[in-house]
């Protein structure tokens, strides 16, 4: 019994120890302390955060290690001794890792060796903070003690939360009262009232109209970006979420839209200054056509090829845009300036508020389209292909045409997003269309809920809105996205807001069959 507890604690401790060492080596300890500081209301984002916040950060990690090590045992009795053993051993082992790395770097910096030649993220400030402003030995011993204690505290906390009757009954009472409110007559009468829907829509419309005017340029910029990513997410969702074909180089269509629009409306390099709406239409059409052409040779092969070919296609587009060969036509690495903004009836709209309205309008249009598509015959065909292509074919779905349609629709929507992006920035260059954009979009679709429209909204706000608020994590963003993708796929592949699939019909069909068999 004792050995299994120790074993579990040590294993968790090793994992958390490696995580702590990695965090220290990439400079995340400072950023994490900054995040904690922000949570407690410290003002400055970019100066080194105070030591107190670092201590809190380490205590949180230690407590997390302790509590995740001391989950309810499978075989043994759930005693406090078990929880404490696992918690202390997890904290001790992760503390050992931290202490060793702290001691090594503390000694190095005491001997005036700068590790930044090879490990640029390990700054002297972060070493000093990691060792609590002490010398190498004292600091690393303090780390060991702190992590062990917080491991024990985390284990104890999770043990008592798990086993205390008061917490259990409190939680049950709370959930009962919440569900009671939701299920009560009065609430359901309000929800089911046909007018309440209109009231809700009215409130949303009022918020959407009023907010861009009141909250200023910075937030308009941030939420404009969120809106553009919502459009991209909705577009990618058609081919990936519904038709089940992964497109990694989605940014290629974004780039084609942005560049087509830019070349048609900017004074350089082609002296074409077309009307905004005409250029928008053409850009969307060109992107959709590109999707069609890419899809033609590949879509009757298995899905993985589409992923890689689009990835290659995105790289081709980026290299071509940067190359000398295309510089006379696409302005090369400098990018295209002075791209037109929207205009209506001879009046041009260029302020950030106008663009916010335009983006909101586009998001609404695309959402409406996506919603209609999902419930259409085509949408059902996509769903059938996603579930099982062979069966879908057998039931009369033309898989190839359906997939081709999905890809070109996706590409067209990406083109629209590219137009909005280029027009709002009044600039577009090859670096706006790096592969990172695609990874961001895939990530937001997956995290929000693949195949689900509200999920994509949630994903876009979480992945493009939150990082703007949490600026400390800026350089770690893609790293976190990578981890997020792996963890989500393992724990919750359907996303935070999973799509509702028509399982009910299947079940009812089963029921009728059984009834027929009985009678």
Partner 1 sequence: MDKPTSTSTKGRVRIERYVRTFVGIVISAFLLWRVYNVVVLQHSFGADTWVRFGLSGLILGGMYALIAIGYTLVYGIMFMINFAHGEVMMLGAFGGFFTFEALRFIPTPTAANPELNFLNAYPFLSVFLAFLVGIFISSMAGFFLEKIAYRPLRKAPRLILLITAIGASTFLQNLAMLLFGPQRKNVVNPDILDRGAGWIVSISGKDVLISYTGVFSLALSALLMIGLYIVVQRTKLGRAMRAVALDKNTASLMGVDVDDVVSKTFIISGALAGAAGVMWGIHMGLVNHYTGFLPGIKAFTAAVMGGIGNIPGAMLGGMLLGIIESVGPAGLGIDFQLKDVIAFSILVLVLIVRPSGILGEKLSEEKL
Closest to partner 1 by CB, 58 vs 443, is 443
Q: Choose among 43, 110, 32: nearest CA to 479.
A: 32
Closest to partner 1 by CB, 134 vs 327, is 327
Token code pair at residue 441: 């979009």
- Tell me the HSE value of 128 on the side-chain side, using a 13 A CA sphere: 10
Minimal distance in Å, beta carbon 323 to partner 1?
Answer: 5
Minimal distance in Å, beta carbon 110 to partner 1?
Answer: 19
Q: Choose among 133, 127, 119: nearest CA to 102.
A: 127
What is the spatial distance between Cα 516 and Cα 519, in angstroms, rounded to a whole number?
5
Gyration radius of the chain over CA positions: 28
Cβ within 8 Å of residue 41, ≥6 positions away: none
Closest to partner 1 by CB, 55 vs 292, is 292
Locate the DSSP E strands across 155-258: none
What is the spatial distance between Cα 15 and Cα 232, in angstroms, rounded to a whole number?
36
Please answer whether residues 99 and 132 qualify as being in contact, where contact means their C-beta atoms are separated by less than 8 angstroms: no
DSSP 237: I
Cβ within 8 Å of residue 140, ≥6 positions away: 98, 99, 100, 102, 103, 106, 131
Does residue 344 sit in helix, strand or coil?
Answer: strand
Minimal distance in Å, beta carbon 124 to partner 1?
Answer: 16
What is the spatial distance between Cα 263 and Cα 331, in angstroms, rounded to a whole number?
9
Closest to partner 1 by CB, 352 vs 494, is 494
- Tell me the HSE value of 158 on the side-chain side, using a 13 A CA sphere: 23
Residues across the chain: 519
Minimal distance in Å, beta carbon 85 to partner 1?
Answer: 26
Cβ within 8 Å of residue 423, ≥6 positions away: 261, 265, 276, 339, 340, 341, 342, 355
Minimal distance in Å, beta carbon 29 to partner 1?
Answer: 12
Minimal distance in Å, beta carbon 450 to partner 1?
Answer: 9
Minimal distance in Å, beta carbon 241 to partner 1?
Answer: 10
Cβ within 8 Å of residue 347, ≥6 positions away: none
Closest to partner 1 by CB, 217 vs 333, is 333
For 500, phi then psi, to 5°, come to -85, 120
Closest to partner 1 by CB, 364 vs 478, is 478
Closest to partner 1 by CB, 355 vs 476, is 476
Residues that bind partner 1 (CB under 8 A): 22, 25-27, 118-121, 240, 244, 246, 248, 297-298, 300-305, 307-309, 311-313, 315-316, 319-320, 322-325, 390, 439, 442, 446, 475-476, 478-479, 481-486, 489-490, 493
Closest to partner 1 by CB, 270 vs 477, is 477
Distances (CA, A) of 454 to 107, 192, 234, 420: 52, 20, 10, 21
Token code pair at residue 170: 């409190």
What is the spatial distance between Cα 341 and Cα 362, in angstroms, rounded to a whole number?
15
Minimal distance in Å, beta carbon 479 to partner 1?
Answer: 4
Minimal distance in Å, beta carbon 423 to partner 1?
Answer: 28
Closest to partner 1 by CB, 349 vs 400, is 400
What is the spatial distance between Cα 298 and Cα 375, in angstroms, rounded to a whole number?
27
Minimal distance in Å, beta carbon 501 to partner 1?
Answer: 14
Please answer whether residues 254 and 232 qualify as being in contact, where contact means their C-beta atoms are separated by less than 8 angstroms: yes
Closest to partner 1 by CB, 132 vs 305, is 305
Minimal distance in Å, beta carbon 118 to partner 1?
Answer: 7
Residue with tokens 């259990």: 168
Minimal distance in Å, beta carbon 224 to partner 1?
Answer: 25
Closest to partner 1 by CB, 239 vs 417, is 239
Closest to partner 1 by CB, 119 vs 350, is 119
């Amino acid at each position: 019994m004792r050995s299994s507890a120790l074993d579990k604690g040590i294993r968790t401790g090793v994992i958390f120890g490696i995580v702590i060492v990695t965090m220290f080596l990439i400079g995340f300890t400072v950023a994490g302390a900054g995040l904690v500081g922000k949570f407690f209301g410290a003002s400055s984002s970019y100066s080194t955060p105070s030591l107190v916040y670092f201590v809190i950060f380490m205590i949180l990690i230690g407590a997390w290690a302790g509590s995740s090590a001391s989950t309810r045992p499978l075989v043994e009795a759930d005693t406090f001794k078990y929880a404490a053993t696992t918690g202390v051993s997890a904290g001790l082992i992760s503390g050992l890792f931290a202490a060793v790395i702290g001691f090594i770097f503390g000694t190095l910096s005491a001997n005036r060796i700068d590790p930044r030649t090879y490990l640029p993220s390990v700054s002297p400030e972060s070493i000093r903070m990691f060792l609590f402003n002490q010398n190498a030995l004292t600091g690393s011993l303090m780390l060991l003690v702190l992590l062990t204690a917080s491991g024990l505290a985390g284990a104890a906390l999770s043990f008592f939360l798990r086993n205390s009757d008061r917490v259990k009954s409190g939680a049950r009472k709370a959930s009962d009262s919440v569900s009671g409110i939701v299920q009560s007559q009065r609430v359901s009468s309000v929800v089911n009232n046909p007018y309440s829907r209109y009231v809700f829509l009215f409130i949303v419309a009022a918020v959407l109209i009023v907010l861009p005017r009141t909250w200023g340029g910075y937030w308009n910029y941030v939420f404009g970006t969120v809106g553009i990513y919502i459009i991209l997410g909705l577009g990618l969702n058609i081919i990936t979420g519904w038709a089940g074909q992964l497109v990694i180089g989605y940014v290629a269509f974004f780039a084609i839209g942005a560049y087509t629009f830019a070349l048609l409306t900017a004074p350089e390099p082609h002296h074409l200054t077309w009307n905004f709406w005409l250029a928008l239409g053409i850009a969307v059409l060109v992107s959709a056509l590109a999707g069609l052409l890419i899809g033609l040779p590949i879509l009757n092969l298995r899905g993985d090829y589409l992923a890689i070919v689009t990835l290659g296609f995105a790289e081709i587009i980026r290299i071509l845009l940067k190359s000398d060969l295309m510089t006379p036509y696409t302005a090369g690495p400098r990018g295209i300036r002075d791209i037109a903004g929207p205009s209506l009836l001879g009046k041009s709209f260029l302020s950030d508020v106008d663009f916010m309205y335009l983006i909101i309008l586009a998001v609404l249009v695309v959402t409406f389209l996506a919603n209609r598509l999902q419930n259409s015959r085509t949408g059902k065909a996509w769903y059938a292909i996603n579930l099982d292509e062979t069966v879908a074919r057998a039931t009369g779905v033309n898989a190839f045409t359906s997939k081709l349609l999905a890809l070109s629709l996706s590409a067209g929507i990406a083109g629209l997003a590219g137009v909005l992006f280029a027009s709002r920035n009044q600039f577009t260059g090859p670096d706006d269309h790096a592969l990172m954009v695609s990874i961001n979009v895939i990530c937001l679709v997956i995290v929000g809920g693949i195949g689900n429209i509200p999920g994509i909204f949630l994903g876009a706000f979480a992945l493009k809105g939150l990082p703007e608020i949490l600026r400390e994590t800026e350089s770690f963003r893609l790293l976190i996205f990578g981890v997020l993708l792996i963890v989500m796929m393992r724990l919750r592949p359907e996303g935070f807001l999973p799509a509702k699939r028509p399982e009910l019909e299947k079940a009812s069909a089963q029921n009728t069959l059984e009834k027929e068999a009985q009678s």
